[in-house]
Amino acid sequence: MAKESYKRDKPHVNIGTIGHVDHGKTTLTAAITSVLAKQGLALQRDFGSIDKAPEERERGITISTAHVEYQTKKRHYAHIDCPGHADYIKNMITGAAQMDGAILVVAGTDGPMPQTREHILLARQVNVPALVVYLNKVDIADPELIELVELELRELLTEYNFPGDDIPIIKGSALKALDG
């Protein structure tokens, strides 16, 4: 697959996916490229091409940061898919230090987990200026649980001096978006 080339005539944004292991960061990254590829704005990247290392594919986790490019009608994005596993947190820090904004991915089935908290703290410490939350797996979670998870997330974001009441929380299923 040839590398997509982009004209540099749009504002550039460094964005990243952060959050707990297995909450769907890489699946969301693949889904974003899939949706944008249908509009001719990206090269579609599947899960396996984002998690490239044999150990990543074997264990089903992201170990090193992966880089994906895409664009929308208004912006060009360099997207960093960060590892969520605690053993690879230093790789997340390296990626987060370059971010203009981050997508905090949280599984609606689990809610905030230890690396969710740690990633929010690290985003604050390296001054990631903007966050949006993607509440994933809402198709398989109880609607009342989703409401509780959203409240818990807003409190957690506020605890780390992010505007918890104002940060957008987008609810969806990265897997369903990826599957079309």
Average pLDDT over residues 81-96: 58
**Residue spans per domain, the chain:** 12-179
**In the chain, how many H helices and how many E strands?**
7, 6
Predicted confidence band at 168 (pLDDT cuts at 50, 70, 90)?
very high
Phi, psi of 151, deg, nearest 5: -60, -45
Predicted confidence band at 69 (pLDDT cuts at 50, 70, 90)?
very high
Domain 12-179 in CATH 3.90.550.10 = no
Q: What was the pLDDT predicted at 4?
A: 55
Q: What was the pLDDT predicted at 97?
A: 65
Whole-angstrom distance, CA of residue 6 vs CA of residue 46: 20
pLDDT tens string 89-143: 555 556 566 789 999 999 999 999 988 998 899 899 889 999 999 999 999 989 9
Q: Output the furthest CA–CA distance in the chain (Å, rounded).
A: 45
Q: Which residues are catalytic?
A: 22, 25-26, 85
Nearest to 180 by CA among 31, 47, 40: 31
Whole-angstrom distance, CA of residue 14 vs CA of residue 12: 7
Q: CB pairs under 8 A, 24+ apart, for 35-39? A: 35/177, 36/70, 36/71, 36/72
